[in-house]
Amino acid sequence: MDTTSLLRKNLESIQERIRAAAERVGRSPDEVRLVAVTKYVDVPVVRQLVELGQRSLGESRPQQLWQRHALLADLPIQWHLVGPLQRNKVRKTLPCVEWIHSVDSLSLLADINRIAGELGLRPKLLLEVNISRHPSKHGFAPEMMEEIISQLGNFPNVTICGLMAMAGVEGDLEGARRDFRALRQLRDRLSPLAPPQISLTELSMGMSGDFEIAIEEGATMVRIGCALFKGILEEDS
């Protein structure tokens, strides 16, 4: 099977799994955005994926995102940065992205807000929470979030849309469910405390191994890479 056919098959399979997971808990599949994490594949494969209709793409590393934003500038892509962002990379990253999922400190948020104002941009941001408290994960500690939320009115040049988290241990599906449920419950507690202009509607959680559980627990964005490129990655390796 050629690459385009494999991509189409995988994309349709993921879309069907998203639909089924949403419907199991009485949600509309339209509430869930698939963000295809493309760091695993070369640019021609990314181009084929976009031509199949997948427009929301995520990259983990800013430098790779910059390159791909330039190489694929002719396509109608909505770019998401889903990995860590260092403060010295903010200025070059902001013109390339619509969404940043990984805001994990007030100092980073302040830099994004300041530089966005200078550039005349208004990026959409998610606050990353270390909901599992795993030492290898990035993000705000959950107990910090009430204080963080109270300060969000100080950043007028960005749109803060919700929260992001990763499950604590890969492959532990019950643990993942607990983490995703805890993030949703945290969002629900924080929403009434947010400044009036901020609506924490988005929950970015769930990857290839656990996205169906994430959807059942309220995810509005799922970040999927390996499952989308099954077969293609095997051929490349």
Domain map of the chain by residue range?
3-236
Count of beta carbons in the 10 Å neighbourhood of residue 5: 10
Q: Give pTM, 2 decimals.
A: 0.95
What is the Cα–Cα distance from 32 to 37, expressed in whole angstroms? 15
Checking if the pLDDT of 237 tops 50, the result is no
Is the pLDDT at 234 greater than 90? The verdict is no
Quickly count: other Cβ atoms within 10 Å of residue 64's Cβ. Answer: 13
Q: Residue 191 carries which DSSP code?
A: G
Q: How do residues 112-163 score in pLDDT, each as one tens digit?
A: 999 999 999 999 999 999 998 888 788 999 999 999 999 999 999 999 999 9
Is domain 3-236 annotated with CATH 3.90.600.10?
Answer: no
CA 140 to each of CA 58, 87, 120, 143, 146: distance values in angstroms, whole numbers, following the listed order = 21, 16, 27, 8, 11
Q: 100: which 2 tokens?
A: 């940043």
